[in-house]
Amino acid sequence: MDTIWTTNCTIPRRESLQSHIQTEVAIIGAGLAGILIGYELQKSGKQVVLLEAKQIASGQTSHTTAKITSQHGFVYHHLIKHFGEELARQYAIANEKAITHYRLLIKQEQIDCDFEEKDSYIYSDDMELLQKEFEAVTKLGLPASFVPSTSLPIPAAGAIQFESQAQFHPLKFIKSISECLTIYENTLVLSVEDNLIKTEQGTVRANSIVFATHFPFINFPGMYFTRMHQERSYVLALKHAPKIEGMFLGKGANAYSLRNYKDFLLFGGENHRCGEHIKGGHFDALRQKAKEWFPNSVEISHWSAQDCISVDSVPYIGHYSSKTPNWYVATGFQKWGMTGSMVSALILKDLICGYENSYATIFSPNRFTPSDLLNITKEGGMAVKGLLKRTLQLPEHVIEDLPCGHGEIVLIADEKIGVYKDDNGTVYPVTIRCPHLGCQLEWNPDEKSWDCPCHGSRFDYHGNWISNPAQTNISISSLS
């Protein structure tokens, strides 16, 4: 699925690692977070190497809507309530600084990445919710005002406007700042022990190791699988839609995301937990809304995104665990990977270089209190549900009866098998036990993939791995 970003920007390919090397800092993952962390550390004088399992920015970075904003939905009322005003202010300042840093970097380096200053809006039909959030953002000193209506055709009781936010083309930006970095592509990390990273054809010994892999794939220590799940969302790029002034996000019945890129409107929504699907499909639901509100628009492309959601709505940026002082992590950006990546780069640069950072506390992965642990248990509960889910027993002739273009879980000779039948009648069987921690995978009819409801690993219908925390393919079962 090409996104609007991949159609007009190509990043040159790099070689894979085939030797044994040493460096000061090794970063696993060359998406926006990994690249920005590497860029900031290298600028501070550190020797840096990045390892990427696929290609630079081939994961979620190329699937974003690329809004650079400190307005993260209705998060600030929640932050003040959950963490208190001081820590909530740290979150606000860190994200405002991230915007300023993008602005400066793009100007200083003269990066041609379609960067535009825009105001950002959150709208809702719930006036009480809007009032509470407006009170919170005003208290924190964010650049906010309340507006009674928006320029959108979507009904709302009002909106909160943040001034001087921004949007850009993420791949053009990454292409430029990654030029100076040493990056090995197609280099899957197999294991990490203390200071040693093993890949398929080489090793890296590093003083500091940063995990910037979207979802951390080392289960112990850290146990990120107990405190994060993944959500999917969908985007349509529309032409002949009216120009909207600003970037928008809704909450409630009309929870949609909107921004322009050149002559196109990027219209997103239909969020759901990975592994859960609706009849009729998420893309079609979004298309119906596009038709209702932008009747003259024409779809030119569509794609989906996947985001890591932490239990308390705050990313995990800092030491990977208390047992691994030389390991660092940047993950759980919710749906705000542009600012989350820059916040990670600024915090991890300071931690690794031994500088003070005045807003790192709220993002620390080791921040949990007993009340947070209750939410963590809930996440664990979802995972157990996935592990225990029973397979519906279907008669063996089900494969014959399976319509072309459909996927299904069947029980054949006491073995649970996932099968997909393509339009030519060819059947693709896979095991449906997730290689991460063994949950049962679910068929995703929209994107013809097998998705894990526990922590969000995904696989195509051939069984090839698409996204972590799992790192291997799902083996092909024999039907003979």
d(CA 83, CA 429): 47
Handedness of CA 450, 451, 457, 458 (dihedral sign): positive
Taking CB under 6 A as the rule, does residue 26 contact ligand FES? no
- x/- site string to ligand FES, residues 332 to 361, per CB under 6 A? ------------------------------
Q: Which of 457, 459, 463, 474 binds ligand FES (CB under 6 A)?
A: 457
Q: Which of 51, 309, 454, 474 binds ligand FES (CB under 6 A)?
A: 454
Report the helix count and the strand count for the chain, using DSSP H and E: 9, 24
Q: Which of 160, 436, 447, 474 binds ligand FES (CB under 6 A)?
A: 436
Q: Which of 246, 455, 465, 467 binds ligand FES (CB under 6 A)?
A: 455
Taking CB under 6 A as the rule, does residue 29 contact ligand FES? no
Handedness of CA 283, 284, 286, 287 (dihedral sign): positive
- Considering only the stretches 19-27, 36-44, 55-63, 430-438, report the one whose residues sit in contact with ligand FES under the rule CB under 6 A: 430-438
User: Are β-strands 449-451 and 458-460 bridged in parallel, bridged antiparallel, or unpaired?
Assistant: antiparallel
Q: Which residues contact 476 (CB under 8 A, 6 or more apart)?
A: 428, 429, 430, 431, 462, 463
- Considering only the stretches 76-84, 159-167, 337-345, 450-458, report the one whose residues sit in contact with ligand FES under the rule CB under 6 A: 450-458
- Considering only the stretches 58-66, 233-241, 306-314, 448-456, report the one whose residues sit in contact with ligand FES under the rule CB under 6 A: 448-456
Min separation Cβ 377 and ligand FES, Å: 17
Give the residue with the Cβ less far from ligand FES, 302 or 455: 455
- Considering only the stretches 120-128, 198-206, 350-358, 449-457, report the one whose residues sit in contact with ligand FES under the rule CB under 6 A: 449-457
Contact 231, 313 (CB under 8 A): no
Contacts with ligand FES in 218-237 (CB under 6 A)? 225
Q: By rule CB under 6 A, what count of residues binds ligand FES?
A: 13
Taking CB under 6 A as the rule, does residue 309 contact ligand FES? no
Taking CB under 6 A as the rule, does residue 118 contact ligand FES? no
Taking CB under 6 A as the rule, does residue 68 contact ligand FES? no
Residue 8, both tokens:
């007009």
d(CA 356, CA 92): 18
- Reference 366, options 320, 407, 404; nearest CA is 320
- Considering only the stretches 40-48, 201-209, 372-380, 434-442, report the one whose residues sit in contact with ligand FES under the rule CB under 6 A: 434-442
Taking CB under 6 A as the rule, does residue 23 contact ligand FES? no
Min separation Cβ 221 and ligand FES, Å: 16
Give the residue with the Cβ less far from ligand FES, 82 or 433: 433
Give the residue with the Cβ less far from ligand FES, 6 or 471: 471
Q: Which of 434, 443, 444, 447 binds ligand FES (CB under 6 A)?
A: 434
Q: Which residues contact 459 (CB under 8 A, 6 or more apart)?
A: 430, 441, 449, 450, 451, 465, 466, 470, 473, 474
Min separation Cβ 439 and ligand FES, Å: 4
d(CA 417, CA 395): 13
Taking CB under 6 A as the rule, does residue 470 contact ligand FES? yes
* Phi-psi category of residue 214: left, alpha or beta, with phi > 0 → left and psi -120 to 50 → alpha: left
Distances from the Cα of 432 to the Cαs of 276, 294, 421, 459, in angstroms?
A: 15, 40, 15, 10
Contacts with ligand FES in 377-416 (CB under 6 A)? none
Distances from the Cα of 168 to the Cαs of 13, 99, 306, in angstroms?
A: 22, 12, 19
Distances from the Cα of 261 to the Cαs of 149, 154, 169, 400, in angstroms?
A: 23, 19, 8, 46
Query: Which value, to the nearest 10 degrees, does the dihedral of the CA atoms of residues 34, 39, 41, 42 take?
Result: 130
Chain positions contacting ligand FES, by CB under 6 A: 225, 434, 436-439, 452, 454-457, 469-470
